[in-house]
Amino acid sequence: MRTLELVARVTPDSAQALWYDLESRFDAAGARPEIAIDGSAVRHLSAAAVQVLLMAQRRAKRDGGVVSLIAASPECCECLRIMGALALIGEDGE
């Protein structure tokens, strides 16, 4: 599984760069991509970043692979909770 580390502040600009990085990893992985995204350094996730992560998970699932957000920091989890996206780390928010 390939691992990608997120920066501390994933702004809309860095979310765009994240998407391009993920696209290249999808292309390099071929069929059934497996990508781990390390969220341990994250202090802030923009809505654009959450959208990129959701799109990456959807694409991986479509291709028979998986994108996992691992080691999410408490701040990362809080951003996901606020935006209703705890499913990215396998939690339903309850």
Residue 77 structural domain: 2-89
How confident is the model over 48-74, as pLDDT tens digits?
Answer: 999 999 999 999 999 999 999 999 999
- Provide the 8-state DSSP code for 71: S
Q: Write the pLDDT tens digit of every residue in 14-28.
A: 999 999 999 999 988
| Within a domain: 94 | no
Total domains, the chain: 1
Q: Let me know if residue 50 belongs to a domain.
A: yes
CATH of the domain at 11: 3.30.750.24
Only one residue has tokens 């990608």, namely 4
7 lies in some domain: yes
Instruction: Give the predicted TM-score (pTM) of the model.
Output: 0.90
Is residue 33 in some structural domain?
A: yes
Is 31 domain-assigned?
A: yes
3-state DSSP call for residue 83? coil
